[in-house]
Amino acid sequence: MTDHLWRNVGLTAFLLLLIGSTTVFAGQTQKGSDIQFYGFLRMDMAYDTSRMSDTQIPVFVRSEDPNAPGAAPENQSEFTLYTRMTRFGLNLNGGDVAAIGSAKLTGRIEVDFYGGPASDSRNMFRMRHAWAKLQWGNFLLLAGQTSDLISPLYPSVNADMLMWGTGNLADRRPQTRAQYTLPIGASQLLIQSAAGLTNAIDRKDLDKNGVPDGEVSGLPTLQGRLALRLPLWKTADDKSHPLEIGAWVHQAWEELDAPLDGTEEDSFQSSVVGVDLKLPLYQDRLALTAEGWTGKNLSDVRGGILQGINTVTGAEIQAMGGFAQLSWTAVKTERYKNVLHAGIAMDDADDADLNDGGRDLNYAVYGAVQSVFGHFTLGIEYLHWVTEYVGFENGTSDRVNLYTIYNF
């Protein structure tokens, strides 16, 4: 058996043991402790008019220039159907921990089926979240794997890759996090910080010494965010829909045992600054979400069209980008909800830092419709996607994705 298979056998056994113990000992756990199951069953069908980087987890469109690296045949369409996004999770509630100031203890375990390698009918578990959180009123500490602190919003299309490499940043990584929520009248100021594992996403090892360059640096990835929440709309059910605007920074270090071949560079930095906006334009019916950022060496946070270092020149590839999306809830009843989304996303890498064949611009204009019938969701999305290359012809594709979801 391979290491991947043993890993997933172990994870499966752990989940079965956890489920079994929850069933057997229900009612015998400490007061206030409980486990809540959640997740969804999802199937996607996608069609592209031209070749993408991947049919199921697309990031960019391949160039149709026959001389370009990784070129695709002109106007070569593709179709895929898959269920890998199916997800299962446990929300854990450990109640109050009296020994540490009656902190509220919660946690989460969440997996999907993107572990691999495997065939499309033999998909394996992949860990998404695994964390524990202690909270004392307005202050909390979190330890484990969860989403990056920066770039907290995401577009409502391409749920597999969340438009990474096309304007949206941040993934998941092992980390520790602290947050304090400061009340300011009816508003709130969120003060957040995190220290995480560098190269958890891109596994960058430029000197090929078997150790990721971020770990060699001896320093963690550092992230911070300040966000202001202002009350704006309140619906008939007394639910608040506040304006939230945030500003965030990211900094990481990478070291090599020897200079990169052909250069004198043996240390690199990854940095980015950005802003996010969540603006309810009318109650819970119409909303704008947007992010913008600029930085360098961003492959470990899914920026720069997944290009971090130019291995020929040693340049830290600079990039800027973001996305903006309007969402309109056209129909909302007790039994049915219909939501429409429209937006644009863009990642622009600096041409001067790239070689011929490098991806210098990646953008998509998109629209989507989601119809929610209780636990069942039917959705369709359309993306007009363009990737520009240094020295070669663009790649252009129209992608249509139809999906069904059963939430539980």
Domain borders along the chain are: 3-25+34-407
Q: Which residues of the chain have pLDDT under 50?
A: 1-7, 9-30
- Say which residue the tokens 């600096």 belong to: 350
Model pLDDT, residue 393:
96
- Looking at this protein, which amino acid is placed at residue 100? I
Q: Distance of CA 231 to CAs 19, 138, 228, Å?
A: 40, 18, 10
Q: Which residues contact 319 (CB under 8 A, 6 or more apart)?
A: 294, 295, 296, 298, 303, 304, 305, 307, 347, 348, 349, 350
Q: Distance of CA 228 to CAs 37, 137, 187, 195, 246, Å?
A: 32, 18, 7, 22, 6
Neighbours of 234 (CB within 10 A): 13
Structure tokens at 391: 């020295």
Model pLDDT, residue 28:
35
Neighbours of 244 (CB within 10 A): 20
Model pLDDT, residue 33:
63
Q: Give the whole-angstrom CA distance, residue 11 versus residue 3.
A: 12
pTM: 0.90
The phi and psi torsions of 275 (rounded to 5 degrees) equal -135, 155
Q: Give the whole-angstrom CA distance, residue 241 versus residue 231.
A: 7
Counted residue by residue, the chain has a size of 408
Nearest Cα residue to 382 out of 370, 374, 373: 370
Tell me the helices (H) and strands (E) count for the chain, helix number first: 2, 17
Nearest Cα residue to 224 out of 277, 173, 290, 151: 151
3 state DSSP class of 241: strand
Q: Could you give the angle at the alpha carbon of 189 between the alpha carbons of 186 and 195, nearest 5°? A: 155
pLDDT tens-digit series, residues 72-92 = 998 899 999 999 999 999 999
Model pLDDT, residue 22:
43
Model pLDDT, residue 32:
53
Model pLDDT, residue 121:
86
Model pLDDT, residue 31:
54
Q: Per CATH, which fold does 3-25+34-407 belong to?
A: Porin (2.40.160)
